[in-house]
Amino acid sequence: MISIAIGPEVYRPHRTAAERLKSRFGRALRSGVKRLAGPRNPLQPIVPRMCTVRDNELPMLETLVKESNGLSGPIVEVGTLLGVSTTKMALWKSPEKKIITVDLFYWNPWGLTSEQHRDLTAQVLHYLIQTNHVELVVSCKNAFYESYLGEPPSLVFLDAIHDYSETAKDIAWARSIGAKIISGHDYSADFPGVMKAVDEAGGPRQLEGTIWRL
């Protein structure tokens, strides 16, 4: 049995522990993720698969990465968390393609401090970083956007803050830099801000689960 203590919540017996965590995670993101990560619940189990793309969404992510292999420029992922989606993309990318993954380590659902969160993620990605397949950029995404001088990305995967204004900013940056494939996570009724920003940008040309592609 999975025991999780993130904060007060109404117990709904028809939901699984995974669904309840996903729901709490969604509420935190919808609120704009204003709270800094902190050691509030240090005994909470870390279950990586609960806060990443779902199994039914992986085929689309794989297709996008494989399409990007035929295009120039790196893959830019915005929102690393533990690096779970990063490691999946690394598996599908061509050997010469680089993934730049950006995270401020501002929020995690496990009560880790920002430093603990960053260290854990750096450890998860250690091999990929050391072998130059992945660059982990510890930065606010908006500062990263302002300072980015690299090649236009072949693929941008947006998965950081799931409100309207931040998603709109993410898409605007990806377009301004000439990203060839613009995609992201959490196009769903749980995240109306993502839906609105994506719809205003022309709507998802492709959607699998909650992974969208303009």
Ligand X SMILES: C[S@@+](CC[C@H](N)C(=O)[O-])C[C@H]1O[C@@H](n2cnc3c(N)ncnc32)[C@H](O)[C@@H]1O
Task: Report the interface residues with ligand X, using CB under 6 A.
Answer: 33, 52-53, 79-81, 84-85, 102-108, 140-141, 159-161
Query: Minimum distance from CB of 200 to ligand X (Å)?
Result: 21
CA distance 186 to 176: 22
Q: Which DSSP category does 21 fall into?
A: H
**CB nearer to ligand X: pick between 10 and 145:** 145
**CB nearer to ligand X: pick between 13 and 104:** 104
CA distance 93 to 188: 27
The residue type at 112: L
**CB nearer to ligand X: pick between 104 and 134:** 104
Query: Minimum distance from CB of 102 to ligand X (Å)?
Result: 6
Query: Minimum distance from CB of 147 to ligand X (Å)?
Result: 13
**CB nearer to ligand X: pick between 78 and 214:** 78
**CB nearer to ligand X: pick between 70 and 115:** 115
Residue 174 token pair:
């990806």
Query: Minimum distance from CB of 199 to ligand X (Å)?
Result: 20
SS3 87: helix
Cβ atoms 161, 188 nearer than 8 A: no
Max Cα–Cα distance, the chain, nearest Å? 50
Which residues, other chains included, contact 12 with Cβ-Cβ below 8 Å and sequence gap of 6+? 20
Query: Minimum distance from CB of 193 to ligand X (Å)?
Result: 14
